[in-house]
Amino acid sequence: MASYRMSATDFLNSGVKVEDYVRALLDHIASRDADVQAWAYLDSQYVLYQARQLDAIPVQQRGPLHGVPVGVKDIFYTKDMPTQHNSPAYKNDAPAVDAALVMLLRSAGALIFGKTTTTEFASVTIGSKTRNPHDLARTPGGSSSGSGAAVGDLQVPVALGTQTIGSIIRPASFNGIFALKPTWGAISREGVKVCSLNFDTMGFFARSVADLELLADAARLVDDEAPPAAFKLVGARFAVCKTHVWPEVGPGTVNALVRGVELLRAAGASVEELDLPAQFASVTDSQQKVFQCDGQVTFLSEYVRAGSKHTLDPILVDFVEKPAGKTHRAHLAALDNLARLRPEMDEIAGRYDAILTPSVVDEAPEGLSSTGSPAFCGMWTALHVPVVNVPGFVGEHGMPIGLSLVAPRYHDRHLLRVSAAVAPVFERGGWKSTL
Amino acid sequence: MASYRMSATDFLNSGVKVEDYVRALLDHIASRDADVQAWAYLDSQYVLYQARQLDAIPVQQRGPLHGVPVGVKDIFYTKDMPTQHNSPAYKNDAPAVDAALVMLLRSAGALIFGKTTTTEFASVTIGSKTRNPHDLARTPGGSSSGSGAAVGDLQVPVALGTQTIGSIIRPASFNGIFALKPTWGAISREGVKVCSLNFDTMGFFARSVADLELLADAARLVDDEAPPAAFKLVGARFAVCKTHVWPEVGPGTVNALVRGVELLRAAGASVEELDLPAQFASVTDSQQKVFQCDGQVTFLSEYVRAGSKHTLDPILVDFVEKPAGKTHRAHLAALDNLARLRPEMDEIAGRYDAILTPSVVDEAPEGLSSTGSPAFCGMWTALHVPVVNVPGFVGEHGMPIGLSLVAPRYHDRHLLRVSAAVAPVFERGGWKSTL
């Protein structure tokens, strides 16, 4: 029986027709869209047309993601839908080309369902129209707002996002779902709007680690050593790392981290406190410097084209116009500092099966004007290491809170395998979706 | 009087109507195109239409590049022309969007003239159809083949290229023209096909340093310290660097380098021999490793989409299929090695006004099947430093040979100023275009 509650894995194992599955999703969306507003572009008729085309493919010719509906953040080019970047300058723009990752998923049989909302050019923390499905008065996070909300609200089983600071892991935590921000460079960024070339990373949202693994397969993420078929928590070795950002933490994440450590230990894993060497406290500052200088290059063309500036968010105008303190010397020092720290972090993270660390400051804040603080995410993005958000914990207002698992660069599949073992344990963290 | 021989600077100072200038260029192209074949897309009627539109703009509203015709390598998106990447998979493709650099030039009033040939996805050394205008039996170099040939053949005053190993500097040398490969990241790569994310650099071809400066202005390349208004060679300090690639050098470049040093010294500059520290000998190997691993990610989606592989060059298929020795561990070691060497090179290059070093192994080789060796270019691309090719020298068969000037990262404007002083001196190097 087709149900919008099916995960991608459920659906692939169900024998349900693609058309039946997407009809269930579209019916659910019809009842929820006015509230959640996760979509920048969604054409039900075109979804159904694609579904029928897919159903007509003989079974033996079907791809591994046959019929899996994928929400696509609206900064990825899609050859058959507009790509608008939440920018008035790109209203109804339609480059006739697929981003590399969209091409990979389409080639694997996925159904490109629609385009999910983003903050402007995925580069500001001013919210889009999208609301958190678990509390419509709260932000779904950003910049991958629509992808996080749509997957959290069961409107689509999986979705694509991008993270430059915290744009995948933060909305995943706020919407109570799983997400993978892979190693930087492991997935092609071809056809995705540039925010910060040195940090932008393509990734996935899902409601299970199994679904993340499906997407990782399609993107051909491969570690040097194949991870164990099943990872066991008994005897596993974790570090818990508060990071230099800890002073910004809120009570929800404090409790989540305490509870997460308890649950891992109760499952037979060892968890030791990891104090990073002092030089890692410089990461946030270095990332900000590089981000600012990258932004100046990134938004120059939009700024010049906009002329009167009215089509560009003032924050993006500032990237270009306010070079105060933005010397190349400082930029390069920051860039080179991060490059030096990356192998050091690989070495540290390699001592453990994974590092457990906060995903967010706290549960999703009230209001849609800000997508929340990315403070805890930025460090790992800058260090290029893979991160998985595992949900399970709960904030003071009943909203979901996730924790991040981190591994060395290009240990993405290992990290997913560890996350698959951690996920059922964290389900006892206190949060349960009511959707 | 409009003439196709005018540089961009000449034209801007001439008062000649845009339409008259482009008619002169189109007439010249009509007489040369069957031989040189520099264009992947050129619509004369559309060029003339654009010219008339530009001529109709009131003088006070004109941009700094008003009417300057620009050839655009066919891996840059252009909203009004197809972008075909010399790939059968992109025949007549037309994403309705401008690459960031195209947007900047268009906003400055430039006339986007047409799309110049490239090797497939700018990623192989198998030649395009384009011939060297100075000897039709020889390669114009690549991958920015058409841009180099078109500017060398006076078909257009300036053109855009990209360099991942040697795809700007090599064709500039082979075609006897100037080129700037800027600091990596200084110009947005938005809307340009990815080859190797860690190395791809957008740059310019021209027949004078003054024209390169015009384009650098439009791209808003700015150093931390403004370069001197006029740089004087008397008392200037150069290094001559043969690099670890020197065993590959041919007689033409040996002579060019000797002559270049003589000319600089005769002009009152000091030139000392620079032996790089031993660790710089690892750059070529590190770049190859990163390039191979980046290529595996880059071409995966095209490979998967191609299915039967018939639309993808075998070299690109190999990028994806042959991961022999391509471990992430080796890839990261190479990536981190290059990152460590970049600030070291900045420090070394910063001791001089510029480093003089070969652009190419020798003059353009015979035949169109290979675009020639990029051996001498790759190192500087991997180190992210700016490079200018200055022509002036001559090979055994009368073909042009250029030399490279190199400066620390983000000293692009300084380097152009130095190049402007070096250029008239190198004009005594023995080569003169007969075109």
pLDDT interval class at A309 (50, 70, 90): low
The CATH number of the structural domain formed by A1-435 is 3.90.1300.10
B73, B181, B242, B289: the active-site residue: B73
Calculate helix-pair angle for B328-349, A328-349, nearest 10 degrees. 150
Angle at CA of residue B346, ends B340 and B349, nearest 5°: 135
**Cα torsion A281, A286, A289, A295: sign:** negative
Return d(Cα B111, Cα B53) in angstroms, integer. Answer: 10
DSSP B365: P
- Statement: residue A1 has pLDDT above 90: no
| Contact list, B108 vs chain A (CB under 8 Å) | 304
Q: For B57-81, what is the mean pLDDT?
A: 96
Question: What residues in A contact B301, CB-CB < 8 Å?
Answer: 98, 100-101, 103-104, 107, 188, 190
Give A-chain residues touching B297 at CB under 8 angstroms. 185-188
How confident is residue B39, by pLDDT bands cut at 50, 70 and 90?
very high
Containing A114, the helix (H) or strand (E) segment is: strand A111-116
Of the candidate ranges A216-220, A409-413, B228-232, B306-310, the one whose mean pLDDT is the lowest: B306-310
Across A364-378, average pLDDT: 94
- Least Cα separation, residue B23 to chain A (angstroms): 28
Percent of chain B with pLDDT over 90: 87
**Cα–Cα separations (whole angstroms), residue B340 to A75, A270, A357, B331, B359:** 33, 35, 28, 14, 24
Q: Which residues pair with A81 in a beta bridge?
A: A78
Q: Which fold has domain B8-218?
A: Amidase signature (AS) enzymes (3.90.1300)
CA B410 to chain A, closest CA, distance in angstroms equals 7
pLDDT of amino acid B311: 77
List B87, B143, B144, B173, catalytic entry: B143
Alpha-carbon Rg for chain B, nearest whole angstrom, is: 20
Q: Averaged over B61-69, what is the pLDDT?
A: 97
| Per-residue confidence (pLDDT) for residue A307, from 0 to 100 | 78
Please give the structure tokens belonging to residue B170. Answer: 């090599």
With 90 as the cut, is the pLDDT of residue A87 above it?
no
Average pLDDT, chain A: 95
- Mark yes or no for CB contact B304/A96 under 8 Å: no
Within 8 A by CB and 6+ apart from B59, the residues are none
pLDDT value for B247: 97
Six-digit token pair at B142?
Answer: 């690549």
- The pLDDT of A61-80, averaged and rounded, is 96
SS3 string of A298-356? HHHHHHHHHCCCCCCCHHHHHHHHCCCCCCHHHHHHHHHHHHHHHHHHHHHHCCCCEEE
Tell me the C-alpha distance between B369 and B147, whole Å. 18
Residue B297 C-alpha, separation from nearest chain A C-alpha, in angstroms: 6
Per-residue pLDDT, averaged over B118-132, amounts to 87
3-state secondary structure (DSSP) of residue B117: coil
Name which of B93, B297, B300 is nearest A97 (Cβ-Cβ).
Answer: B93
Distance from CA of B104 to the nearest CA of A (A): 5
Q: Which of A306-320, B40-54, B152-166, B356-370 has the lowest mean pLDDT?
A: A306-320
Q: Where are the domains of chain B?
A: 8-218
Shortest alpha-carbon distance between residue B112 and chain A (Å): 15
Residues ≥6 apart with Cβ < 8 Å to A381:
A163, A164, A165, A166, A181, A184, A199, A201, A287, A387
pLDDT of residue B309: 59
Which of B83-87, B171-175, B265-269 shows the lowest mean pLDDT across its residues?
A: B83-87
Q: Which amino acid is at A139?
A: T
Q: What is the pLDDT of residue B324?
A: 66
- pLDDT tens for A288-305 read 999 999 999 999 998 988
Which residues is A72 bridged to in the sheet? A115, A160
Instruction: Output the pLDDT for position B193.
Output: 93
Residue where the block lists tokens 């990461």? A283
Cβ pair A104:B189 closer than 8 A: no
- The percent of residues in chain A predicted with pLDDT above 90, rounded, is 87
Q: Which residues pair with A135 in a beta bridge?
A: A132
Q: What are phi and psi of A194, to 5 degrees?
A: -80, 135
pLDDT digits 0-9 by tens, B313-334:
888 888 888 766 789 999 999 9
CB atoms within 10 A of CB B137: 12
Q: Are strands A39-41 and A111-116 parallel, antiparallel or unpaired?
A: antiparallel
Task: Provide the mean pLDDT of chain B.
Answer: 95
The partner residue sitting opposite A96, judged by closest CB among B94, B336, B346, is: B94
| Residue B257 · residue B265 · CB < 8 Å | no
For A8-55, write each residue's pLDDT tens digit.
999 999 999 999 999 999 999 999 999 999 999 999 999 999 999 999
Residue with tokens 């395009």: B128
Which are the contacts of B246, defined by CB distance < 8 A and separation ≥ 6? none
The confidence score (pLDDT) of residue A308 equals 65
For chain B positions 327-346, those within 8 Å of chain A (CB to CB) are: 327-329, 331-332, 336, 339-340, 342-343, 346
Any idea which residue has 């290491």 for tokens? A385
CB contact under 8 A, B220 and A340: no
Interface A-B: count of C-beta contacts within 8 A: 127
In this predicted structure, what is the pLDDT of residue B86? 85
Nearest to A336 among B93, B94, B342 (CB): B342
Cα distances from B360 to residues A235, B318, B353, in angstroms, run: 57, 26, 21
Give catalytic status of residue B143 as yes or no.
yes
Q: Is A143 a catalytic residue?
A: yes
Listed by number, the residues of chain B in 98-127 with a beta carbon closer than 8 Å to a beta carbon of chain A are 98, 100-101, 103-104, 107-108
Chain B segment 258-297 residues within 8 A of A by beta carbon are 294, 297
Q: What is the mean pLDDT of residues A87-109?
A: 87
CA dist., res. A412 & res. A346, Å (int): 12
Peptide bond into A143 cis (omega under 30): yes
Q: Which residues of A touch B347 (CB under 8 A)?
A: none
CA distance A25 to A46: 14
**Record: contact A185-B294, CB cut-off 8 A:** yes
Residue A419 bears catalytic tag: no
Q: Which one is catalytic: A123, A128, A147, A167?
A: A167
Q: In this structure, how many other beta carbons lie within 10 angstroms of the beta carbon of residue A105?
A: 28
How many Cβ atoms sit within 10 Å of the Cβ of residue A92?
9
Q: Choose among B151, B144, B197, B183: nearest CA to B167.
A: B144
What would the mean pLDDT of B245-263 be, rounded to a whole number? 98
Confidence of residue B91 (pLDDT cuts 50, 70, 90): confident
Interatomic CA distance for residues B402 and B390, integer angstroms: 5
User: pLDDT class for B92, splitting at 50, 70, 90?
Assistant: low
> What is the mean predicted confidence (pLDDT) over A138-142?
96
A381 vs chain B: nearest CA distance in angstroms?
Answer: 16
Interface list for A 379-408 with B (CB within 8 A): none
> How large is the average pLDDT for residues B141-160?
97
Cβ distance A404 to A389 under 8 Å?
yes
Question: Which residues of chain B neighbour A302 with C-beta distances below 8 Å?
Answer: 100, 103
Is the ipTM of this structure higher than 0.90? Answer: yes
Token duo for residue A281: 């406290």
The answer to whether the CB of A207 falls within 8 A of the CB of A235 is no
Q: Is the peptide bond before B369 cis (omega within 30 degrees of 0)?
A: no
β A400-406/B39-41 pair status: unpaired
- pLDDT the model gives residue B56: 98
Q: Which of B96, B107, B328 sits opposite A94 (nearest CB)?
A: B96
Tokens 């958000």, residue located: A389
Crossing angle of the two packed helices B283-306 and B314-321, in degrees rounded to 10: 100
Task: Report pLDDT for B308.
Answer: 65
